[in-house]
Structure 1
Amino acid sequence: MVTSRVPRRHPSEGTMVPTPQPKGAASASPDRAIRVLLTTPDASMPGGVAQYLRVLRPHLPGDVLYFTIGSRSERERTGAAMLRVLQDSWRFARTLSQGNFDIVHLNPSIVPKALLRDGALLVLAKALRTRVLVFAHGWGDTCERALSRHLSPLFRLVYGRADAFIVLGKEFKERLRRLGYNRTVFVQAAPIEDDLLACSYERRVRRCADGSHQKFNILFLSRIEKEKGIYEALETYRILKQQHPYVSLTVTGDGSHLSRAVNHVQTLNLADVSFSGHVEGTAKYEIFQSADAYLFPSYSEGLPLSVLEAMASGLPIVTSAVGGLRDFFENGTMGFMTQSREPEVLASLLSRLICDPDLYAKISLFNHKYARDQFTSSQVAAQLERVYRFLHESAD
């Protein structure tokens, strides 16, 4: 249970500080639970926000009410979407007005549809005098540029009313400031599933460290979209396959470019490429266990959960320098991060992992330990609870 009288950690400080009471307000009861209305995508939908909340949900207190918004189907028509938005907004207002909630927790990405939808909910929540926390998950560069050039006054008018934001990297905190948001911003990690940390990875390390080179399986796990770097990944593999004939590639995920990616593999006549579709649970754990390195040449990210999951599984990482990864990624210690998405560069970095078994083993062991120490779902849930307490104890 989240209770209201505890010390708070200011987002920009590293020590616990006393919590001031709101001016003119009575002291909160030490036993009073903080009631949170948390918006969530449909649990069956793919995507980082849905996965984040699925992983975190078992570790959050019972005083959090989950309120489903957004598309219920990937094939939703425009008319149905408009009707659904109106219905969701009406249900939200009714639930909020009847539920005596202390905090509304919204979970948009910085993309047009999500900002419009959640902006309306934010206005409703503030009209009902409820504190609002906005967690910006994904970050659309094109949307941000449009906001900066043409719509920053509107963004400040609506989202400037939020009592706090959470972002997934220091870079996004700075970008949020440039959009004109001047209230509290927390920078937090993303959670990984605890079961991934329980999976054994030592056999893979021994296999790759013995220098026998009987196999080396590269994993690309993501939405299959151009912006995720799928074509760079395939071209990287083509180059690497010429140098190391025993390598293979596993492509995991669904998306609008899946069929094109399959056709591209056939056009390039690439051998030893498998497409496994969208996976969850045990099937996902097995995918990670069968891989030897993780390739992620994405164009733009918040904090990609798949990279954290790969680290938890003991996989060395080769990634583009995107989003919140820049805040913690140690080049050469966790794998390799590069500003380039050129396949020749990515292939050379993967080749270093293949050709240096000692380096491979050190990275694998380090990544598993780092993920275990930093990204468990219970740790991230505790961080979020501290944010709830901070908001509940802060004056408007």
Structure 2
Amino acid sequence: MKVLILHPDLRDAGGVAGYYRKLDGKFSITVGHLIIGTRPGERGGVDTVRRMLSDVRLFIRKIRKENYTLVHVNPSLDPKSLLRDGLFLIIAGLCHKRTLVFIRGWKDRYENLIHRHWRWLFRGVFGRADAFIVLSQAFKRTLASWITNKPVYSAFTALDDEALAGFDMRSALEARLSAPRWRVLFISRLIKEKGLYETIDAVGMVSRHLPGVDLLVAGDGPELAPARQYVHRAGIPNVRFLGYVRGEEKAWVLRHAHLLCFPTYDEGMPNTVIECMGFGLPVITRPVGGLVDFFQDGIHGYVTDSKEPAVFAGLIRRIVEDKALYRKMALANYAFAQKNFKPCQAARRLESIYEAVSNGNHRL
């Protein structure tokens, strides 16, 4: 069996690139990679058309000459991604290759649009796939209602083994509990829909009562400059913007933060939550995507339907003011992540799906 995976450049900051970066070297079968999507320095227009044509030509050449048995695409549920990966899916079918679609990002507004208006088009293009993977049971039920005759598997995302190398949970926990200041972490692409401003406001409310609480904002995006201005105008103290972090810098942030506040509006399976659980951080978030399938309120942190900063402020205070509770949540998250989110486990799960799809045996 030989599988070709289409994904963005592994150096990119996005969740799809991060996932396959973590799985690099973990497969026991032959896996090829084809980089697709926007490249650094691409200015749109002519550059985009040229890049897309180049990607298509290279894709056709690879699947014709390198004898792949299965093509694996990774769209998000948004128009641009679906159009791009739908084209590759059609080409793979014309070349008589089996196909697997792993829908990584799931956006509620596009789910509603497809369900109401474009289900026929989605079925016409993606109904050609041999199987699907999604990141939550709710997504699985929705997709199965759109395309009724194809298997839909579920999967988790993965931790970063390199970032966790040498990490000692017990020592980190004691260091956090004895630290003079508490660090609330927000780490994501900086867009409004991730709950950035709700987090800033929540920590601002907490700091009025607990001045020893800081907010670390890690990430880049269109809201970086506006968020800096917002913090300055509102006079919210103790907010540090770290920019995009990766490698050792990211590992340092995850080791030294105390908890994650992530009031995201919608997700597939947020890598941010999985990574922070891997470092034993309690998580305060919303019931989105695949989190609904495993996240236990009061065990892994707190989950709320609310988007109100005051609600998140109250939950932050509840954790910060109760060290016994903090210890319990931190250890629970670390143990759960080690048990369920190891990259080798994610690779084995994909391999079992690849084998089932290649052989036409979908009983896993």
After TM superposition, the runs of 4+ consecutive aligned structure 1 residues lying more than 4 A away are 207-210
2:193 matched to 1:200?
Answer: no
2:270 matched to 1:301?
Answer: no
* Aligned residue in 2 for 1:186: 153
Q: How far did residue 282 of structure 1 move? A: 1.2
Within the candidate set 308, 312, 335, 1:369 is matched to: 335
The higher radius of gyration belongs to 1
* Aligned residue in 1 for 2:85: 118
2:15 matched to 1:48?
Answer: yes
Within the candidate set 160, 167, 172, 2:127 is matched to: 160
| Larger RCO (CA within 8 A; separation ≥ 6) | 1
* Aligned residue in 2 for 1:393: 359
1:322-365 Cα deviation digits (max 9, x unpaired): 11001000111111011111111111111110111111101111
Bigger drift between 341-350 and 89-98 goes to 89-98
* Aligned residue in 1 for 2:283: 317
Q: How far did residue 286 of structure 1 move? A: 0.2
Distance of aligned partners of 1:305 and 1:60 in 2 relative to their CA distance in 1, 3 Å threshold: same
Within the candidate set 137, 140, 155, 1:170 is matched to: 137
Letter of the 2:299 counterpart:
T
* Aligned residue in 1 for 2:294: 328
Question: Does structure 2 conserve the Cα–Cα contact (< 8 Å) formed by 1:293 and 1:316?
Answer: yes
2:195 matched to 1:229?
Answer: yes
State the secondary structure of the residue aligned to 1:149.
helix
TM-score of the superposition, structure 1-length normalised? 0.88
Within the candidate set 233, 240, 253, 1:267 is matched to: 233
How far, CA to CA, are the matches of 1:180 and 1:72 in structure 2?
32
* Aligned residue in 2 for 1:288: 254
Q: How far did residue 62 of structure 1 move? A: 5.6
How far, CA to CA, are the matches of 2:41 and 2:131 in structure 1?
31
Within the candidate set 17, 24, 34, 1:57 is matched to: 24
State the secondary structure of the residue aligned to 1:336.
strand
TM-score of the superposition, structure 2-length normalised? 0.95
Within the candidate set 33, 37, 58, 1:70 is matched to: 37
How far, CA to CA, are the matches of 2:304 and 2:330 in structure 1?
19
Letter of the 1:118 counterpart:
D
Residues 210-249 of structure 1 mapped to structure 2, 5 A cutoff? 214-249=180-215
* Aligned residue in 2 for 1:146: 113
How far, CA to CA, are the matches of 2:19 and 2:212 in structure 1?
35
Question: Does structure 2 conserve the Cα–Cα contact (< 8 Å) formed by 1:239 and 1:347?
Answer: yes
How far, CA to CA, are the matches of 1:49 and 1:181 in structure 2?
26
How far, CA to CA, are the matches of 2:181 and 2:175 in structure 1?
9
* Aligned residue in 1 for 2:316: 350
Letter of the 1:323 counterpart:
G
Question: Does structure 2 conserve the Cα–Cα contact (< 8 Å) formed by 1:40 and 1:66?
Answer: yes
1:364-393 Cα deviation digits (max 9, x unpaired): 111111100100001110100101111121
Q: Give the RMSD, CA atoms, in angstroms.
A: 1.6
Distance of aligned partners of 1:181 and 1:267 in 2 relative to their CA distance in 1, 3 Å threshold: farther
Q: How far did residue 152 of structure 1 move? A: 1.0
* Aligned residue in 2 for 1:82: 49
How far, CA to CA, are the matches of 2:55 and 2:125 in structure 1?
19
1:53-98 Cα deviation digits (max 9, x unpaired): 1111120246111001000127531221122112211211121111
Question: Does structure 2 conserve the Cα–Cα contact (< 8 Å) formed by 1:321 and 1:338?
Answer: yes
1:186-226 Cα deviation digits (max 9, x unpaired): 1111011123444124344335556xx72111000000000
Letter of the 2:252 counterpart:
E
Question: Does structure 1 conserve the Cα–Cα contact (< 8 Å) formed by 2:3 and 2:71?
Answer: yes
Between the aligned residues of both structures, percent identity stands at: 37
How far, CA to CA, are the matches of 1:164 and 1:75 in structure 2?
32
Q: How far did residue 313 of structure 1 move? A: 0.5
Q: How far did residue 178 of structure 1 move? A: 3.1
1:237-276 Cα deviation digits (max 9, x unpaired): 1111111111000000011111111111111112211111
Bigger drift between 307-316 and 87-96 goes to 87-96
Letter of the 1:346 counterpart:
F
How far, CA to CA, are the matches of 1:395 and 1:241 in structure 2?
56
2:8 matched to 1:37?
Answer: no
How far, CA to CA, are the matches of 2:246 and 2:288 in structure 1?
24
How far, CA to CA, are the matches of 1:89 and 1:142 in structure 2?
29
